[in-house]
Structure 1
Amino acid sequence: MKIAQICPRYSPDIGGVETHVKEISERLVKAGHDVEVITTDPTGQLRKQEIINGVRVIRFRSFAPGNAYYFAPQIYTYLKKHDYDIIHAHSYHAFPAFFASLSRHSGKFVFTPHYHRHGHTAFRDLLHKPYRLFGKIIFSRADSVICVSEYEKKLVESDFEVAAKTVKIPNGINLTEFEGLRQPEKSLNRNAEREKILLYVGRLEEYKGVQYIIQSLPELQDFRLRIIGKGPYEAELRNMAKSSGVEARVEWLKDLSRKELLERYADADIFLMLSSHEAYGITVAEALAAEIPCIVAKGSALEEFVDGRNCIGIENPVSKEKVVRALQDLMENKRRQSKNEQEKVDEKNYGLYSIIDWDEVTQKIITVYESTFNQ
Structure 2
Amino acid sequence: MKIAQICPRYSPDIGGVETHVKEISERLVKAGHDVEVITTDPTGKLRKQEIINGVRVIRFRSFAPGNAYYFAPQIYTYLKKHDYDIVHAHSYHAFPAFFASLSRHGTKFVFTPHYHRHGHTAFRDLLHKPYRLFGKIIFSRADSVICVSEYEKKLIESDFKVAAKTVKIPNGINLKEFEDLRKPEKSLNRNAGREQILLYVGRLEEYKGVQYIIQSLPELQGFRLRIIGKGPYEAELRNMAKSLGVEARVEWLKDLSRKELLERYADADIFLMLSSREAYGITVAEALAAEIPCIVAKGSALEEFVDGRNCIGIESPVSKEKVTAALKEIKKKERIKKSGIDKNIMDWNEVSARIEKQYLKQ
> How far apart in 2 are the matches of 1:51 and 1:292?
35
Unaligned runs of 5+ in 1: none
Which residue of the partner structure matches residue 120 of structure 1? 120
CA–CA distance in structure 2, aligned partners of residues 118 and 90 of structure 1: 16
- Shift, 1:191, TM fit: 4.2
Local SS of the residue matching 2:313 = strand
8 Å CA contact retained: 2:50, 2:57 = yes
Please show how residues 248-259 of structure 1 align to structure 2 within 5 Å: 248-259=248-259
1:188-208 alpha-carbon deviations (Å, 9 max, x no partner): 345432100000000110000
User: CA offset at residue 221 of structure 1?
Assistant: 1.7
- What does 1:279-298 correspond to in 2, within 5 Å? 279-298=279-298
Distance 1:206 1:137 in 2: 29
Aligned equivalent of 1:348, options 326, 341, 354 = 341
Instruction: Give the structure 2 partner of residue 302 of structure 1.
Output: 302
Aligned ranges 1:68-107 → 2 under 5 Å: 68-107=68-107
In structure 2, do the counterparts of structure 1 residues 36 and 144 end up closer, same or farther at CA, with 3 Å as the change threshold? Answer: same
Q: Distance in 1 between matches of 2:255 and 2:129?
A: 34
Distance 1:65 1:182 in 2: 42
Partners in 2 of 1:155 and 1:319 — Cα distance? 25
- SS of equivalent residue, structure 1 residue 163: coil
SS in structure 2 of the partner of residue 92 of structure 1: coil
Task: Count how many residue pairs are aligned between Structure 1 and Structure 2.
Answer: 362
TM-score (norm 2): 0.98
Structure 2 residues not aligned, in runs of 5+: none
Q: Is the 8 A contact 2:10 2:39 kept in 1?
A: yes
RMSD, aligned α-carbons? 1.1
Query: Amino acid of the residue matched to residue 256 of structure 1?
Result: L
Alignment partners' CA distance in 2, 1:186 and 1:60: 48
TM, length-normalised to structure 1 = 0.95
Q: Following superposition of structure 1 onto structure 2, how do residues 139-158 of structure 1 map, counting pairs within 5 Å?
A: 139-158=139-158
Decide whether the 8 Å contact of 1:182 with 1:290 is kept in 2.
Answer: no
Q: What's the CA shift for 1:126?
A: 1.6
CA contact (8 A) 1:48 1:59 kept: yes
| Corresponding position of 2:47 | 47
Question: How far 1:187 sits from its partner (Å)?
Answer: 4.1
Classify the secondary structure of the residue corresponding to 1:4.
strand
Equivalent residue, structure 2, for 1:236 = 236
| Aligned-partner Cα distance in 1 for 2:200–2:263 | 14
**1:367 corresponds to:** 357
Question: 1:62 aligns to what?
Answer: 62
The corresponding residue for 1:111 is 111
In structure 1, C-alpha distance between the alignment counterparts of 2:338 and 2:172, rounded to whole Å: 15
Partner residue in 2 for 1:319: 319
Secondary structure of the equivalent of 2:64?
A: coil
SS at match of 2:164: helix
8 Å contact from structure 2 (residues 147, 168) kept in 1: yes
Paired residues of 1:289 and 1:345 also in contact (CA < 8 A): yes
- Do the aligned partners of residues 184 and 232 (structure 1) sit closer, same or farther apart at CA in structure 2, a change above 3 Å counting? closer
Per-residue Cα deviation, 1:243-262 (whole angstroms, up to 9, x for no partner): 11111111111111100000
* TM-aligned CA deviation for residue 121 of structure 1: 1.1
Identity %: 88
2:173 maps to a residue whose letter is I
Cα distance in 1, alignment partners of residues 238 and 265 from structure 2: 22
SS at match of 1:65: coil
How far off is 1:186 after superposition? 3.6
